Structure 1
Amino acid sequence: MLNAAAQLQTLLGTQNLGRVYYEPIKDRHGNVLLVTVRELETQCSFITGKWIQIAKFQSQRKSMSTLEEPTALDVLLITIQVCTNPPT
């Protein structure tokens, strides 16, 4: 996971990915998401894309999978509040 985080930092051209969610999100197709959470005051652009607000991401994302076989991205959308709110 540390290698993946280091490579992600390099690809995004940033030194601060934010807080890494302790558990990768996996699906039945072998996809794995490494989730990092970082609060930004303004929109931030980088080489290959840009950061967007969670609410905007959720409203734009349309599921292409079934409930029986959700993709890793669908699982992220279902559990996004858990990922973004650290346990107290």
Structure 2
Amino acid sequence: MNLHDWIDELSDALDVDVDLDEALILDLARDAAHNVARPAAPITTFLLGYAAARHDADPDQTERLAAVAADLAQRWDKSADAIAHEDDDPEVEEELEALEA
């Protein structure tokens, strides 16, 4: 099964009929994951979907909203320390801190 099949099946299961620009969504998810944090990707795309729905899923409006979100993600300011540790596992970090104490 490929991505297009998944999208078709999921759209049917969720009872939605919308023209989906997969590249736009994937690009936005990548920008959020790389420039903000990995968990920001699904949240960002969910919020884009919500905002698009509020504008009747107009493709031009959705593209404009995605551009706004991508621009914000690309400008997101993170400290060097945050960037260095963004892949750290919090549970492992807690265990290491406990061992050092």
TM-score by length of 2: 0.26
Larger proportion of strand = 1
TM-score by length of 1: 0.28
Tell me which of the two structures has the higher relative contact order, counting C-alpha pairs closer than 8 angstroms and 6 or more residues apart. 1
Larger proportion of helix = 2
Which structure has the greater CA radius of gyration? 2
